[in-house]
Amino acid sequence: MLPSLKHLHVTCAIIERDGLVLAAQRSTAMSLPLKWELPGGKIDPGESSEECLRRELVEEMGIHVSVGKHLPLSTHHYPTFTVTLHPFVCSIQSGEIVLHEHAAVTWLSPEELHALDWAEADVPVIESYRLACRISKDYG
């Protein structure tokens, strides 16, 4: 029988501004170095996913966000652990982005997001978001 892998529950923010989405590049010191991700972090025991996201974004980037629509959860199995992402569409309420953990950030349109080398767990979240954008554009 295989040993059970660590299963992490992690929030991630799809931060929108002026029709663009924020992507963050993981630093060389982080796991999955230099992969792009949606910023966020591990949910602490007793913490809601919204509380976690607000806390992580202050810690990682020095920004305060308004947490909006929740997108579907997405689970990905890496070789050494499993991660379930809890994605939210957000907007910056206050603060300027200061990178405390990431190597870089960039703002891209939803159509351009696929061009980056994303952490595998983020790919289905981005596809779900892009689909939601297309639906709201077509039927909104």
Looking at the chain, the whole-number percentage of residues with pLDDT higher than 90 is: 89
For the structural domain made of 6-139, what CATH number should be given? 3.90.79.10
User: Mind listing the pLDDT tens digit of every residue in the chain (140 residues)?
Assistant: 455 789 999 999 999 999 999 999 999 999 899 999 999 999 999 999 999 999 999 999 999 999 999 999 999 999 999 999 999 999 999 999 999 999 999 999 999 999 999 999 999 999 999 998 877 666 54
Cα separations (Å) of 137 from 49, 71, 128?
Answer: 28, 17, 14
> Token pair for residue 55?
């806390």
Three-state secondary structure of 91-125: EEEECCCCCCCEEEEEEECHHHHHHCCECCCHHHH
pTM of the model: 0.92
